[in-house]
């Protein structure tokens, strides 16, 4: 068997294992969706009037349109906590020692986690997106191409953060630590343009909010679904995603190749 | 030599300034059971981890060949030849026993039907067919260990490493495990196992290496090791101090314990030796309350070899 087909075969076996875990224990994944869904409900139905005034008038449906893209990216951040926890759990289990002593493709363990996590993130985005649609979110004349690009964007962001989450999971000695280490992935969207426009924030803070990875991704998604200006946000997002993917991959691989603890 | 399944020269490993293995040589002929015997922290697990490619050997280690493959240059070929059951359960606790087995079949690239057949066969053989559809997190210790070994056997490995296969098992499960291990070797498989139980090494192993302070303190068959130490004796116990004192004066060459009122007479345990002791007791008119014959066992070997003054402190964190 060539090394490529070995890699594909073993990685898909590992992916099946991860999906089996997710299917057997769906509460873990669903719990992670509570945060974005709660925030969506809270900001629309409780703070909605104030928030829609804050984005320059308009009614509540205008704020739903503003909020949903940010919530979708926050959903990705949330599912990453699950990824970090399951990776750290795996690394401390005996089964990992077994995998390491088998003649399987070395990277397949991590690839299985990554593919499974991206898939779960995209499914989660669809679920939370459905909640948004039920609450009244509609895209503004998005073409089929723009929808495809939107999904591509979400998958790319999920891939980038998954690799970072895998690295965090491997660096964590246990599930609790992994959960804490991945917290920034939930907190970062709170200080992005997800809830309020950047220019409503204090001046010294604006550059931080503007150039962190979530804001350009949110602006790009808004542009694709709502027809707002994307500007250079698309390129910044792609650059962030590629950078984080490479960084996360190298970090994870270096940790995997080290002698286990 | 080509018929060595495992050949390691000068195995070394240290963590920081703590030396765990300090030049261990191992030669295990194909189709035999070799037991690495030693107390906790002696380096048994570290040796297994190195030989099974889990961790790298320390600097200064010589050639290591497992299944004829060079461990340093071709670890994947070594992995294809071996099966490993570690000290800590290496099963996926979130899925069922059957799913664990099928996962192994997939990773060994068996076809779907072949994987199902092997899984069913092994689950049956290890008495797990009934529990096959239950999550392994609900298994008892003995069941987990059996599943662990069943998973190791999926790819048909020719060399199997078992790290403390019976630690923590109840006596019945331990005997079941011994039966399983003997069965493996009857199929021509080579087994390297570690144990802290002398009885286990005695029961199973063709050759035993006593690991102490990072080196092999003694090596040989159980009988060869027993010959290394004089340990055979007859023990007499008395309840009456007067009888005890007359026995001491009647017998020569005795080691007495005045408080416990017991005597040890060096003896090979033969009928002739026993009779001479009894004759002398009779002629002195003394009767012992209890007589036991003690033949040297691996405990004697073990204590003789490892009771040196420099027993290392237990490491703070057990080296796994």
CATH class of B4-91+139-228: alpha beta
Quote the ipTM score.
0.86
Region for residue B10 given its phi and psi (left: phi exceeds 0; alpha: psi -120 to 50; beta: otherwise): left
**pTM, two decimal places:** 0.82
pLDDT of residue B312: 44
Q: List CB contacts (< 8 A) between A98 and chain B.
A: 84, 86, 90, 151-152
Residues of chain A with pLDDT below 70 are 1, 57, 261
Distance CA B97, CA A23 (A): 16
What spatial distance separates the first Cα and last Cα of chain A, rounded to whole Å?
Answer: 31
Q: Is B253 helix (H, G, I), strand (E, B) or coil?
A: coil
Measured between CA atoms, how close is A215 to chain B, in angstroms?
37
Q: Is A94 within 8 Å of B155 when comparing Cβ atoms?
A: no
Residues B109-164: pLDDT tens digits? Answer: 999 999 999 999 999 999 999 999 999 999 998 899 899 999 999 999 999 999 99
Tokens for B311?
Answer: 């027993």
Q: What is the pLDDT of residues B59-76, one digit of tens each?
A: 999 999 999 999 999 999
List of chain B residues whose C-beta atoms are within 8 Å of the C-beta of residue A101? 52-54, 79, 82, 84
**Encoded tokens for B291:** 């007589």
What domain count does chain A have? 1
Tell me which chain B residues have a C-beta less than 8 angstroms from the C-beta of A95: 90-92
Query: Domain range spanning residue A126?
Result: 3-257
**Domain assignments of chain B as residue spans, ordered by start:** 4-91+139-228, 233-295
Out of B93, B109, B152, name the one closest to residue A9 (CB).
Answer: B109
CB B168 within 8 A of CB B86: no
Query: Is residue B88 within 8 angstroms of chain A, CB to CB?
Result: yes
Q: Which of B66, B76, B54 is nearest to A3 (CA)?
A: B76
* CB-based contact B79 A98, cutoff 8 Å: no
**Can you give the pLDDT at residue B270?**
77
Structure tokens at B192: 């390297």
The pLDDT value given to residue A168? 95
B55–A1 C-beta distance less than 8 A: no
Question: Could you tell me if B36 and B218 are in contact, meaning their C-beta atoms sit under 8 angstroms apart?
Answer: no
Tell me how many residue pairs between chain A and chain B have CB atoms under 8 A apart. Answer: 63
Q: How many CB atoms lie within 10 A of CB A228?
A: 17
Q: Are A103 and B80 in contact (CB < 8 Å)? A: yes
**Of the candidates B52, B56, B93, which has its C-beta nearest A101's C-beta?**
B52
Sequence-ordered alpha helix ranges (H) in A25-93? 26-41, 48-54, 60-92
Give percent helix, percent strand, percent coil of chain A, each to the nearest 5: 80, 0, 20
Based on the number of CB atoms within 10 Å of its own CB, is B156 exposed (0-12), middle (13-18) or buried (19 or more)? exposed
CB atoms within 10 A of CB B105: 23
pLDDT at residue B320, rounded to an integer: 40
Per-residue pLDDT at B318: 39
Q: What is the DSSP string of B71-114?
A: TTT-HHHHHHHEEEE-SS--S-TTSBHHHHHHHHHHHTT--HHH
| For chain B, the helix, strand and coil percentages under 3-state DSSP, each to the nearest 5 | 35, 25, 40
Tokens of A62: 């205008």
Topology, domain B233-295: Alpha-Beta Plaits (3.30.70)
pLDDT, residue B309, reads 40
- Long-range CB contact pairs, B249-256, < 8 A, 24+: B249/B284, B250/B280, B250/B281, B250/B283, B250/B284, B250/B286, B251/B277, B251/B280, B251/B281
Residue A57: what pLDDT? 67
Please give the backbone phi and psi of residue B20, each rounded to the nearest 5 degrees, phi first.
-95, -45
Residue pLDDT tens, chain B, 320 long: 458 999 999 999 999 889 999 999 999 999 999 999 988 888 999 999 999 999 999 999 999 999 999 999 999 999 999 999 988 778 998 899 999 999 999 999 999 999 999 999 999 999 999 999 999 999 998 899 899 999 999 999 999 999 998 888 888 888 988 998 998 888 889 999 999 888 889 889 999 999 988 899 889 988 888 777 766 788 888 888 888 888 888 887 787 888 888 888 887 777 888 888 888 888 888 888 888 887 777 777 777 777 654 444 433 333 44
């Amino acid at each position: 068997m060539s090394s490529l087909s070995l890699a594909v075969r073993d990685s898909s076996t590992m992916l099946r294992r991860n999906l089996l875990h997710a299917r057997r224990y769906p509460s873990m994944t669903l719990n992670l969706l509570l945060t974005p869904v709660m925030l969506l409900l809270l900001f629309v139905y409780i703070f909605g009037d104030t928030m829609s005034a804050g984005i320059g008038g308009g009614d509540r449906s205008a704020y739903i349109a503003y909020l949903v893209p940010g919530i979708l990216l926050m959903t990705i951040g949330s599912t990453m906590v699950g990824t970090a926890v399951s990776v750290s759990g795996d690394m401390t289990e005996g089964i990992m020692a077994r995998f390491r002593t088998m003649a399987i493709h070395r990277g397949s363990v991590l690839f299985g986690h990554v593919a499974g996590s991206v898939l779960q993130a995209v499914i989660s985005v669809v679920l939370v997106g459905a909640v948004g649609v039920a609450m009244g979110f509609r895209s503004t004349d998005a073409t089929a191409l723009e929808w495809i690009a939107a999904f591509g964007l979400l998958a790319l962001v999920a891939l980038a953060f998954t690799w970072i989450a895998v690295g965090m999971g491997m660096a964590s000695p246990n599930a609790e630590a992994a959960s804490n280490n991945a917290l920034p992935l939930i907190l970062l969207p709170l200080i992005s343009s997800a809830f309020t426009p950047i220019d409503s924030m204090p001046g010294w803070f604006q550059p931080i909010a503007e150039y962190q990875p979530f804001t350009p991704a949110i602006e790009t998604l808004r542009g694709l679904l709502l027809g707002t200006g994307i500007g250079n946000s698309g390129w910044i997002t792609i650059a962030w995603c590629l950078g984080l993917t490479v960084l996360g991959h190298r970090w994870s691989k270096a940790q995997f190749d080290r002698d286990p603890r | 030599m080509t018929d060595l399944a495992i050949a390691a020269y000068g195995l070394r490993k240290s963590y920081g300034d703590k030396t765990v293995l300090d030049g261990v040589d191992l030669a295990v002929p194909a189709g035999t059971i070799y037991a690495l015997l030693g107390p906790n922290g002696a380096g048994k697990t570290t040796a297994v981890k190195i030989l099974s490619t889990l961790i790298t050997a320390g600097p200064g280690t010589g050639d290591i060949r497992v299944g004829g493959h060079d461990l340093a240059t071709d670890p994947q070929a070594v992995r294809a030849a071996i099966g490993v059951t570690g000290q800590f359960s290496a099963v996926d606790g979130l899925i069922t026993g059957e799913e664990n087995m099928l996962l192994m079949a997939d990773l060994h690239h068996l076809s779907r039907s072949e994987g199902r057949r092997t899984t069913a066969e092994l689950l049956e053989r290890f008495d797990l067919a009934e529990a096959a559809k239950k999550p392994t997190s609900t298994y008892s210790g003995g069941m987990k260990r059996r599943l662990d070994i069943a998973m190791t056997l999926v790819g048909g490995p020719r060399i199997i490493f078992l790290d403390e296969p019976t630690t923590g098992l109840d006596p019945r499960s331990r005997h079941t495990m011994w039966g399983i291990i003997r069965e493996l070797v009857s199929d021509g498989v080579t087994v390297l196992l570690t144990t802290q139980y002398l009885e286990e090494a005695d029961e199973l192993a063709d050759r035993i290496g006593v690991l102490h302070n990072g080196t092999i303190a003694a090596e040989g068959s159980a009988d060869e090791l027993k010959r290394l130490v004089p340990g055979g004796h007859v023990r007499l116990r008395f309840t009456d101090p007067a009888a005890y004192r007359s026995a001491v004066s009647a017998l020569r060459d005795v080691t007495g314990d005045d408080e416990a009122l017991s005597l040890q007479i060096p003896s090979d345990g033969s009928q002739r030796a026993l009779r001479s002791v009894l004759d002398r007791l009779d002629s002195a008119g003394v009767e012992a309350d209890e007589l036991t014959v003690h033949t040297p066992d691996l405990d004697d070997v073990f204590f003789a070899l490892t009771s040196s003054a420099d027993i290392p402190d237990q490491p703070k964190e057990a080296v796994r």
